[in-house]
A and B are shown apart, each in its own frame.
Chain A
Amino acid sequence: MKFDTPATTNPIDQLKVVGQPLDRVDGPLKTSGTAPYAYERHDVVANQAYGYVVGAAIAKGRITGMALDAARAAPGVITIVTAETAGKLDKGKRNAATLFGGPEVEHYHQAVALVVAESFEQARAAAQLVQVDYAKAEGAYDLAAAKQAGVEPSEGSPDQKVGDFEAAFAAAPVQFDRTYTTPDQSHAMMEPHASIAAWEGDKVTVWTSNQMVDWATTDLAQTLGLPKEQVRIVSPYIGGGFGGKLFLRADTLLAALGARAAKRPVKVALTRPMMANNTTHRPATIQRIRFGAGRDGKLTAIAHESWSGNLPGGEPEDAIQQSRLLYAGANRLTGNRLATLDLPEGNAMRAPGETPGLMALEIAMDEMAEQLGLDPIEFRVRNDTQVDPANPDRPFSQRQLIECLRQGAERFGWDKRATKPGSRREGRWLVGIGVAAGFRNSMSMPSGARVRLDAAGVVTVETDMTDIGTGSYTIIAQTAAEMMGVGMDKVVVRLGDSSFPVSAGSGGQWGANSSTAGVYAACVKLREAVAQKLGFNSADTAFADGQVRAGNRSAPLGQAAGEGGLVAEDTIEYGDLAKQYQQSTFAGHFVEVAVDAATGEVRVRRMLAVCAAGRILNPKSARSQVIGAMTMGVGGALMEELAVDKRHGFFVNHDLATYEVPVHADIPHQEVVFLEEADATSSPMKAKGVGELGLCGVGAAVANAIHNATGLRVREYPITLDKLLDRLPDAA
């Protein structure tokens, strides 16, 4: 189905099932421990051996020797695979560094060997006997030092100039020029990357944990030099991804190589201490933001420049994206500079670009409002735009940012905010509230699905879409139930298998809208097939309550399937609506913090997000997406930082004890409000996405609340107490 004109009324608009806050269909499995994750698939293939990964001990250089004899001779060892013995390997186009290092080492903890043994304990013990000698090479590990050598990236988003920023900035009565930094961050999903691989002849099946089944299939095939048809990827349950499982990673490749060498199925999981350096991370940024404004509080000049680093072939962290669209202003300059760093590969982490971008931009907006003597919400309202500032003929399809902020202000008690920072004290606590705009573009991706109808009236949906905790199983079931007029109990959803039609996958907050639109398209076809089978006029056929009705005729849905069943398959594809309209999602994030006046410890007391993100397909699971993102936002604001050893080029705090993410005690009750919206330009579902929106802006809202509480600005994330301590009022 080609979606190239705005949606009109369709069966989804009934909202009998879609739009309802239903419990997740996979809930009973997940809460009883019976949802099967990758490493647990004892059921799929017998005789699994255990692989244990050896990671490089240096960041850059060459392997000069590997002593494997002791490991080979260790009890239970079946085989040891290295790049030297693995045969020729290509590299998937989505990987910057190779997944199996040697003799070149491109980053710390890059996999350099896989030890396969009968048991996990044997594999681990043998892996610890592997001796690798290295010739270390000089590398660049310090973004601030490498910044000057940054270049305009050859791919992705080139510099954008609108009007004449320099002149407008110079002429502006009120000027602002500040630099912010955001650190490297780790996805730190709870389930480590894990795979089980089994070969049958020259075909390999991998049960794994991957957000994008087709990307993994394509890139594993390419890396192994196999036709794609000989690779099957199965990923029905994923213990968190956040972008860290978008791509083919070492566990999958090494399981396949290990299984080939061992001539039996092999399972591999990355150990937690290896994840931060072996896999990808959100790259650090240095961001300079300049504003010029009139005394009326209207921005006349906006510049946002961002520096980040990556391995050769890697991309920049596109932290300037939102600054092209979020606020009005006639003269604009935005651009990225990319430096070469020899740290592990930087890549997408939840809302790449906008997350660090808004962490900086939305503090800057708060600072500029203060400089102008304006309320931060009023300042944002004055600079709202309903069109793409670089192309005024291109409107936003929908944009309720002002409503998000106003409604949020009302609900959160913004009017009680102390206008004088540092003036509200409750015992040992300095208390403040802060706001930030949330913004994330809404992308649409082609997405396919197959739907089957059987004689019992059961609709089975198959798509390689994944559920990474987002609720895909549930909203896809809701979509099929709505379209086919059946209850949720009559829908079966099967996901995450490359033998199913290629979907949008889970990333970029496009998954919900795109994958359900694909199911919609397939269901439209199935409805036509049903009507045809029953001899009904498909134009006026209604599907409800398990019945198909046209005129005064009616039949049970299952009747159309007959004994052989009916199958329909389709893919949603898009025209140029995204070019005609800027499709984005918006939020107002509100945070109250308390800062210990003596120690500078920051504790978040209240949080609210008001979101405008198109139709909400399931308010319960969508709300969960948002609160989860808000939680990650608190982590980014207050504690998350991969600490770089700038001498040796690695992330030092590479486990969950030292890379701190929020725990229960850090997170208060969280409120989420979704504004009524249905975006007819997005898809037949009229939905967008919320999973990333919920994170975008949260960090700055926390930072702004800290400023409101203490009067102190911190422009280097995370805002740990050491950055406040010296400037807090004298202790009692």
Chain B
Amino acid sequence: MKPFTYERARSPAEAAAAAARTPGAKFIAGGTNLLDLMKLQIETPGHLIDVNGLALDKIEATAEGGLRIGALVRNTDLAADERVRRDYGVLSRALLAGASGQLRNKATTGGNLLQRTRCPYFYDTNQPCNKRQPGSGCAAIGGYSRQLAVIGSSEACIATHPGDMSIAMRALDAVVETVKPDGTARAIPIAEFHRLPGDTPQIETALEQGEFITAVVLPKPAGGTHIYRKVRDRASYAYALVSVAAIVQRDGTARVAIGGVAHKPWRVEAAEAEIPRGAKAAAAAIMAGARPTHDNAFKVTLVERTLGAVLAEARS
């Protein structure tokens, strides 16, 4: 871990300004992913801006009937919030399926959106990785890729986005609110927040240098049955092989986002028209164009079968 200087920010705008001012600066909130990566010299910030003191730890009702979740709301608190449990069950479930109790106590809403991939080649600094070191190549392609992406990947990167929370937020059509170093605020629909790798896998989100997440806004409750189904090798404390976040209405229509398959939460709105026709048709449409590797071809089948189980559960 490289030496770094450290400051505690006093306001979101000040944090953003400090980040823009200091080359190599990073925000730190829960720190559960950033410190992990700093120890391995994968992240090498020269300056850390501790944002934990900012008063962004509230969940408030919005005028539109939704919820504004402060960026510093911890995963545990978000999952346990009564309104979230009642009206956004898929989000509560997704959070509870992630990580461990200890990590959820630290991990924040904003930080969780910025989780970096768990691709083992990204984590091993002896190996080439376009995400870690642009232009160095991708060791995962042709290597051990069981956990990695099956769709939306590129010649440069086949990493997966590791999140659970973000998958549910994608199904919920959440909006990420930020403040830029110049003090202007913007709202980024979650669909546009995470990016596919393309030729620049090191750029993972729509955030600009210094841009700071202040909140995530959920639209007013969509009703329906909320299900988050995470499929993994061990029963807990593991990343998803495949996860399905679904909000299923009585009429059989549904919104579905898939985790564990792509560089971002995977949702194909156009494919959702197929859902009333069953999981096979819907999964085929959602996963159209999938390019799995030898190691992870099973994920395509797994998406279909998991979606089938989720839709069946919603019906019952």
Contacts and interface: CB of A to CB of B under 8 A. Distances in A.
Interface of A: 57-58, 75, 121, 124-125, 128, 273, 428, 596, 598-599, 601, 603, 638-639, 643-645, 647-648, 652-655, 657-658, 660, 662-666, 720-722, 725-726, 728, 731-732
Contact of A645 (B1, B41, B144, B236): B144
A645 B140 CA distance: 9
14 contacts: A58-B126, A124-B1, A596-B309, A598-B305, A598-B308, A601-B235, A638-B234, A639-B234, A648-B143, A658-B120, A721-B298, A725-B298, A728-B305, A731-B309
B261 to A, nearest CB: 14
Interface string B140-151: 001110110000
Interface centre among A121, A720, A722 (most CB of B within 10 A): A722
Contacts of B120: 643, 652-654, 658
Given A121-B1, A643-B144, A654-B124, A731 B236 contact: no
B304 interface: yes
Nearest to A601: B231
Contact of A665 (B144, B231, B236, B241): B236
Residue with the greatest number of chain B CB neighbours at <10 A, chosen from A57, A125, A645: A645
Contacts of B239: 657
Nearest to B143: A645
A575 to B, nearest CB: 47
Contacts of A665: 234-237
A643 B40 contact: no
B289 interface: no
Interface string B159-200: 000000000000000000000000000000000000000000
Given A128-B2, A654-B120, A665-B237, 9 more contacts: A125-B3, A643-B144, A644-B144, A652-B120, A658-B123, A660-B238, A666-B234, A726-B298, A728-B305
Contacts of A721: 231, 233, 241, 298, 302
Contacts, number: 105
Nearest to B242: A599
Size category, B interface? 35 or more
Contacts of A75: 3
Contacts of A428: 309
Given A124-B1, A654-B124, A725 B301 contact: yes
Nearest to B280: A731
Nearest to B140: A652
Contacts of A663: 234-238
> Which one of A124, A599, A603, A660 has the highest number of Cβ atoms from chain B below 10 Å of its Cβ?
A599
- The majority secondary structure among interface residues of chain B is loop
B288 to A, nearest CB: 19
Nearest to A655: B123
Name the residue among A124, A666, A728, A732 with the largest chain B CB count within 10 angstroms: A732
Contact of A652 (B39, B121, B231, B234): B121
Chain A CB within 10 A, most for which of B1, B121, B126, B234: B234
Nearest to B311: A732
B306 interface: yes
A662 B301 contact: no
A655 B41 CA distance: 16
B181 to A, nearest CB: 29
B163 to A, nearest CB: 14
A666 B144 contact: no
Given A638-B233, A732-B312, A652 B305 contact: no
Contacts of A647: 142-143
B220 interface: no
Given A657-B118, A665-B235, A720-B233, A599 B143 contact: no
Interface in B288-314: 298, 301-302, 304-306, 308-309, 312
A508 B120 CA distance: 33
B13 interface: no
A256 B146 CA distance: 40
A332 to B, nearest CB: 37
Nearest to B233: A639
A664 B236 contact: yes
B235 A125 contact: no
A665 B237 CA distance: 9
Contacts of B40: 273
Given A647-B143, A655-B123, A731 B308 contact: yes
A128 B142 CA distance: 27
B139 interface: yes
Instruction: Give me the 4 closest cross-chain CB pairs, A-B, nearest first.
Output: A722-B298, A57-B126, A598-B309, A665-B235
